[in-house]
């Protein structure tokens, strides 16, 4: 999955979660399910793009 596809899925899941919370409440099983799915997508993004970028930055900084 490309970076943009992952970002699109994150935004879609976030919008769905907002709708679910408005309809069923923050602590509803459905809201918790969607929140966990959003967390999974965000963790995937972090592991794939943020941590790699930070690791590369640290390598460059140590070379200076």
At 6-54, the pLDDT tens digits run: 999 999 999 999 999 999 999 999 999 999 999 999 999 998 888 766 5
**Integer Cα distance of 5 and 57 in angstroms:** 24
CB atoms within 10 A of CB 21: 16
Q: What is the pLDDT of residue 15?
A: 98
The two three-digit tokens of residue 42, written as one number:
């965000």
Question: Residue ranges per domain, the chain?
Answer: 3-63
Q: What is the pTM of this model?
A: 0.78
Fold entry, domain 3-63 = MYOD Basic-Helix-Loop-Helix Domain, subunit B (4.10.280)
Q: What is the pLDDT of residues 44-61, one digit of tens each?
A: 999 888 876 656 656 666
The pLDDT, as a whole number, for residue 50 is 83
Give the number of other CB atoms < 10 A from CB of residue 31.
Answer: 19
């Amino acid at each position: 999955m490309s970076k943009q596809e992952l970002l699109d899925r994150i935004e879609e899941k976030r919008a769905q979660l907002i709708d679910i919370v408005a309809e069923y409440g923050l602590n509803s099983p459905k809201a918790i399910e969607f929140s966990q799915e959003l967390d999974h997508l965000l963790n995937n993004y972090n592991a794939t793009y943020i941590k790699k970028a930070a690791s590369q930055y640290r390598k460059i900084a140590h070379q200076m």
